[in-house]
Structure 1
Amino acid sequence: MSSFHLRTSHVPYMARLLRTLCAMFVALHVLPVLAREQVVSVPLSGGQSIACLLTQKDGSKPAWVLVMMPGGDGRLDLKQKADGEITMREKNNFLVRARGLIVDDRFATAIVDSPSDLPDGYTDSFRASSRHTQDIARIAADLKHRFPDANLVLVGTSRGTISTAFAGRVLSNTWQAVVHTSTLSSPSRGQALPLAGFDYNAIHARQLFVHHVDDACFLCSFDAAKRIARGHDLITVSGGDASGNPCKAMAHHGFNGQDASVVAAIKMWIDGAKWPKEVN
């Protein structure tokens, strides 16, 4: 009898582990079948450049191209070898790992790296700078040249939401929509200070906020995110799994275990379909 109780006590853990493994399988194994990828280098002034990872379904003519800003320092070190193999850092970042769930006949993604003159990646202040906005504008122009009939959507996660806030506001005619996920809603301890008091109503494109109710990152209070999202659209996420640093991708901050449901809800909102206000 005691052996039986010991085994059943492991059921919740095993269920969480299975969900995590399934999400990783989807992110890692659906993509090669579904899409083709290339590293695109966009020239900047002063002889610098900025790269993005362009992912689209073979033969597709996407209606939406998501320009995606990962979190952390944003340094991906994107490289493509002669045989087409792509290497990069931050593979667990929510937006990076979710691209295989996003891309289909109607959706393509462009994940933005840090520019060549920032070998250590972005600082919070640089994400809020006019130079950063100009860099994103160059990428947007390149994508409009490649996909003249597509709508561009700016998407950020965690520290990437500093980028979506400022580039969303300044490049008002560029985006059909702006999506902030795991927003840095609670600037604190000298971090995320550019977002302190930021006026999201100054962004003219329609906006979506996506936030986990149990996001334990000290910069990302859910209550503060709800206040910021007033007057805009909000998807509230619950459930999933959390492990490690609460401000990293495998915690609730990165929607760990809820990738497919969160991505599906975001895509429905972007596409104008009926979308769920809660994901659980």
Structure 2
Amino acid sequence: MNTEQFRLNSYPSTTALRLRQLRVSMIAVISFLFAPFAFADEVITLKTRPGVSQSLLLWEPHASNPETVILLIPGGSGNIGLSLKDGQATAERPHLFLGQREVLLQEKMAVVVMNAPSDQEDLTQDIRISSKHVADMQVVVQEVQRRFPKARLVIMAHSRGTISAAYLSQSLGDQVSALVLLSGLYQAYLPGPKMPSSGPGLSKIDLSSLKIPTLLVHHAKDACPVSPISDFLPILLPKIVVDGIANNDKVAPCGPGSNHWFTGKENAVGQEIINWISGKPWKPSLP
């Protein structure tokens, strides 16, 4: 073999090189398209009062310029235990909206979950109606509006969180586009041995006077002592009534696994709420 033949056999032709490059490029594109994506939620920490911080969880993925931002206010203590673990933001304590995440993360929306402020381990009813708590939440709304200035704000709350949501909506007026209250505490209840959360509830607020679209969602067999269906039925606002079997006696009537949390129907409830928020047909009752 002469020198010229060696050179020709040792180096691929221009066509072969181009084919090889094209093959490598196609493999890279396919790998990119089918690689698993890990979206990390963002923890936002705000200074609301001297020595006090307020943390939020911004769910990912979300629209960069959403038409709607849903601010979620959990019930119970309000402390969902936000933290960062291996670079991922997590809520260590359960709340209703975790079971609705897949439904609530819509294409043209962003979702923010509010935690309790750093100086409150338990957001009692009295704290939730206080001027300090309202001031903290107003800072939260300002941050949401700064990030998403063109989006409308929808406040969505569960159980004891409905108190926070209503008082916040009252203070913000037309800055709130819509309000959704799930398993609301509509009346005042005195302390008692089986009373999970005593206080005024929403008895001091006329919800219809808020003058914003408001949706109430309740389970017909909610056994939580502070949110019986009898308190919900007389209110003349748009409603979704969820039905089903009564709670098992072994289940805490106000906690996870109960009708108070719409257990087993979280996604169905969430979808009807999204329909209502989006102006689509929605069902006033869910069997």
For the aligned residues, what is the CA RMSD?
2.0
What is the Cα deviation at residue 182 of structure 1? 0.3
Number of equivalences: 244
Residue 159 of structure 1 and its aligned partner are, at CA, apart by 0.4
Matching residue within 198, 202, 225 for 1:195: 202
Q: What SS does the aligned partner of 1:108 have?
A: strand
Contact 1:182 1:253 in 2 (8 A): yes
Alpha-carbon distance between aligned partners in 2 of 1:37 and 1:74, rounded to the nearest angstrom: 19
Q: Is the 8 A contact 1:34 1:104 kept in 2?
A: no
| Consecutive unaligned residues in structure 1, runs of 5 or more | 1-31
Distance 1:54 1:274, change over 3 A: same
Residue 240 (structure 2) aligns with: 235
Q: 2: CA distance between counterparts of 1:203 and 1:68?
A: 19
Is residue 113 of structure 1 aligned with residue 120 of structure 2?
no
Aligned twin of 2:171: 170
Q: Does 1:272 align with 2:279?
A: yes
Instruction: Give the one of 64, 69, 72 matched to 1:68.
Output: 72
Partners of 2:186 and 2:201 in 1: CA distance? 11
Q: Deviations over 1:20-49 (max 9, x none)?
A: xxxxxxxxxxxx969541111111121321
Residue type of the alignment partner of 1:248: G
The CA deviation at 1:57 is 2.1
Identity of aligned residues (%): 29
Helix, strand or coil for the counterpart of 1:210?
strand
Matches within 5 A, 1:1-280: 36-57=40-61, 60-81=64-85, 83-91=86-94, 93-118=95-120, 120-190=121-191, 191-228=198-235, 230=236, 232-239=237-244, 242-243=247-248, 244-280=251-287
Amino acid at match of 1:104: Q
Structure 1 position 223, deviation (Å) = 2.3
Q: Render the CA deviation track for 1:149-171: whole Å, top value 9, x for unaligned.
A: 11111111000011112111111
Q: Which has the higher helix share?
A: 1
1:14 corresponding residue in structure 2: none
**C-alpha displacement of 1:85:** 1.9
Residues 135 and 240 of structure 1, relative CA distance in 2, 3 Å threshold: farther
Structure 2 length-normalised TM: 0.79
| 1:99 Cα deviation after fit | 2.3
